[in-house]
Amino acid sequence: MQVSEKDEDILSLYQKIILDHGKSPRNAGVVKQHNCRSEGKNPLCGDRVTVTAALGDEGQVLNLKFDGKGCAISIASASMMTEAVRGLRADDVRKMIQAVAKLCKEDTSDDQFFSEYGDGLGTRIEYLSALSGVRQFPARFKCANLPWQTLLSCLDGNDSATTEG
Amino acid sequence: MNALAYNTVKSESRVFDLDLVRQDFPILSRAVHDKPLTYLDSAASAQKPQAVIDVIRYQYEHEYANVHRGAYSLSEALTSKYELAREKVRQFINAKSDREIVFTKGATEAINLVSATFGRTLEAGDEVVITGLEHHSNIIPWQLLRDQCGIVLKIVPISDEGDVSLNEVELALTKKTKLVAISHISNALGTVLPIKEIAAAAHATGAKILIDGCQGIVHEKVDVKDLDCDFYAFSGHKLYGPNGIGVLYGKEEMLDAMPPYQGGGEMISNVTFEHSEWAELPAKFEAGTPPIVPAVGLGAAIDYLSSFDRKDITAHESDLLAYATERLQTLNSIRLIGTAEKKAAAISFVLEGAHPHDLATILDRSGVCVRAGHHCAQPLMDRFGVTATVRASFGMYNTREEVDVLIGALGRAREILC
Ligand SMILES: Cc1ncc(COP(=O)(O)O)c(C=O)c1O
């Protein structure tokens, strides 16, 4: 069957880069010498993701991996996350977590968005902009956001996160 | 206004003509994302026929008050319709008496009612038997009871086909079994359980039986006398009725022996600060203002269904299931979850390389509504080694053409995802 133009939204959600990360996730597994770990769950759909990280003395992300089961969106988001935050300081990671939530939810123009978050996070943010296809699918926001919320709870020293509540 | 036809218990009889049936459900003519709506999620909740919508509207526009309270004609009129709805339910499931029909807000509340009242009579070490395919609403109430009073919860295993055999149930029964609580039809897989035989086996060991009939009531003719079940629970919204209404059928002697569930208005016959006496059945279990209009709506849904020969509806749904099963099996790398010999109106599957949620999102853009997820049956998903499935489920109004739309949309989804 022909993929029609009406599918624009769908095609922007399932961009090549998303499908690629969804199918061949990077940094899948467990950081052996991790000093933080958190398990995220989406109780509505049963998706789960576990994040392990090795953080440096000043909270910079030295290594980050994830292990999980979920849809293409959540796995791709987790995989891209592991690439995007590696080497960042904790405060930048927090900023990026906020940025992603905005990117996936709010109808801000790219210009606006980059002027707010571009500084410092620059190309890393640009890399993540493929996730913004989720905006047209509010029901899927939780899928994209789960890995990031799990990372946040990891940084906060909590061992679990949920998309509910 | 056909809302007035509600007042008779016997409904007119109609021939099952699919085109005409579809016209009875106004929502079916709407579009979703510019595509005709293809609603394949009736197991989650069914669409409503005009007759139900009309009756609900009529009540609010012409005849609304509280029940059992006002000594004025409006209240009397609605009270008699509320009680007439009870009589319609009684006839529909062939219960002995109106006293055995308790209105609740849904099946979940009906099951919780039993666990909180009948359950209170159980002691530590007593056993409750459920199966591995239960909906969470027939698992959690028993877990709560276990944690409260130390009963033992036993789980009857499911076969690779998603079936429950009588033999496995019998193996789980002991002298300590006080209750068997099982689905009539699995919401996640469509498996039809041998409930009559299971009821007989339970009774043979001295246990009672509760049947979660949420799906069963929709797809099979239910006769509680013939089944000889102690409890049968269902929700109105899956039976083409409104939401906010459910039914607990309980044998009169069971309900009589049970303590009340909630306390409040309606459920008492006399109250002093020292002591209160409970109202007669079924009021004893209907504390507070009940879901009055939803009950009347359920009565209208039963009238609607009863106007057809149920056999014609069942035959149509079986045809859809067989057709969908055959068509789905032509897709590459599909795995059907639940291939029991006896199934009804629901089909669960996974496609290799495509997560159910991604499939459902893409199907939605083709106007196709299916459920993707664990279907409130996580232990069952674990049993089959998946976290989620796609489930297409059928109502009386679905067509073979809609199955074709599903197949086409799945093909396209795979093109995008794989
Ligand atoms: C088999 C089964 N049991 C129980 C329920 C719970 O019904 P409700 O949510 O209407 O109370 C459902 C519906 O989801 C069901 O399919």
B10 occurs within a structural domain: no
Selecting from A3, A23, A46 the residue whose C-beta is nearest the C-beta of B388 gives A46
In chain A, the residue whose alpha carbon lies closest to the alpha carbon of B366 is: A7
Please identify, among B288, B306, B324, the residue that sits at the C-terminal boundary of a domain.
B306
CATH of the domain at B143: 3.40.640.10
Q: Which of the listed residues B109, B131, B135, B371 should we mutate to test ligand 1's pocket, taking the one with most ligand atoms within 8 A of CB? A: B135
Instruction: Kindly state whether A23 is in contact with chain B, defined as any CB-CB distance less than 8 angstroms.
Output: yes
Please identify, among B257, B287, B306, the residue that sits at the C-terminal boundary of a domain.
B306
Instruction: Kindly state whether A11 is in contact with chain B, defined as any CB-CB distance less than 8 angstroms.
Output: yes
- Provide the domain count of chain B: 2
> Whole domain around residue B319: which residue ranges?
18-42+309-417
> Does one domain contain both B96 and B202?
yes
User: Who lines ligand 1 at CB under 6 A?
Assistant: B 106-108, 135, 137-138, 183, 187, 212, 214-215, 235, 376
> Does one domain contain both B117 and B239?
yes
> Does one domain contain both B238 and B314?
no
> Does one domain contain both B127 and B87?
yes
B96 occurs within a structural domain: yes
C-alpha to C-alpha distance for A124 and A55, rounded to whole angstroms: 19
Nearest CA-CA distance, residue B418 and chain A, Å:
8
B178 occurs within a structural domain: yes
Look at residues B287, B227, B235 and name the one whose alpha carbon lies nearest to residue B251.
Answer: B227
In degrees and rounded to multiples of 5, residue B218 shows phi and psi of -80, -35
CB contact under 8 A, B361 and A11: no
Nearest CA-CA distance, residue A68 and chain B, Å:
11
Residue B375 CA to ligand 1 centre (angstroms):
10
Nearest CA-CA distance, residue B151 and chain A, Å:
27
Laid out side by side, the sheet with B346-351 consists of: B334-337, B346-351, B389-393, B371-373
Q: Is the whole model's pTM more than 0.80, yes or no?
A: yes
B8 occurs within a structural domain: no
Instruction: Kindly state whether A43 is in contact with chain B, defined as any CB-CB distance less than 8 angstroms.
Output: no
Known catalytic residue at B376: yes
CB contact under 8 A, A14 and B33: no
In chain B, the residue whose alpha carbon lies closest to the alpha carbon of A9 is: B365
> Does one domain contain both B217 and B350?
no
CB contact under 8 A, B355 and A70: yes
Please identify, among B287, B306, B325, the residue that sits at the C-terminal boundary of a domain.
B306
> What residues in A contact B365, CB-CB < 8 Å?
6-7, 9-10
Residues B236 and B301 sit within 8 Å (Cβ to Cβ): yes
> Does one domain contain both B111 and B185?
yes
> Does one domain contain both B23 and B109?
no
Domains of chain A: 17-158 (3.90.1010.10)
> Does one domain contain both B377 and B296?
no
Of the residues B149, B229, B369, B376, only one is catalytic, namely B376
Selecting from A1, A44, A71 the residue whose C-beta is nearest the C-beta of B358 gives A71
A17, A23, A45, A135: best mutation site toward chain B, by most B Cβ within 10 Å? Answer: A45
Q: What angle do CA B139, B217, B40 make, to 5 degrees?
A: 85
ipTM value: 0.89
> Does one domain contain both B104 and B236?
yes
CB contact under 8 A, A6 and B361: no
> Does one domain contain both B122 and B72?
yes
> What residues in B contact A40, CB-CB < 8 Å?
none
Angle subtended by helix axes A72-85 and A110-128, to nearest 10: 90
CATH of the domain at B369: 3.90.1150.10
CB contact under 8 A, A140 and B357: yes
Q: What is the pLDDT along chain B (418 residues), one digit of tens a residue?
A: 456 678 775 667 899 999 999 999 999 999 999 999 999 999 999 999 999 999 999 999 999 999 877 789 889 999 999 999 999 999 999 999 999 999 999 999 999 999 999 999 999 999 999 999 999 999 999 999 999 999 999 999 999 999 999 999 999 999 999 999 999 999 999 999 999 999 999 999 999 999 999 999 999 999 999 999 999 999 999 999 999 999 999 999 999 999 999 999 889 899 999 999 999 999 999 999 999 999 999 999 999 999 999 999 999 999 999 999 999 999 988 999 999 999 999 999 999 999 999 999 999 999 999 999 999 999 999 999 999 999 999 999 999 999 999 999 999 999 999 8
B232-236 long-range Cβ contacts below 8 angstroms, 24+ apart: B232/B93, B232/B184, B233/B104, B233/B107, B233/B110, B233/B111, B233/B114, B234/B107, B234/B110, B235/B106, B235/B107, B235/B108, B236/B106, B236/B294, B236/B295, B236/B297, B236/B298, B236/B301
> Does one domain contain both B129 and B160?
yes
> What residues in B contact A1, CB-CB < 8 Å?
408, 411-412, 415
> Does one domain contain both B276 and B392?
no
Residues A117 and A16 sit within 8 Å (Cβ to Cβ): no
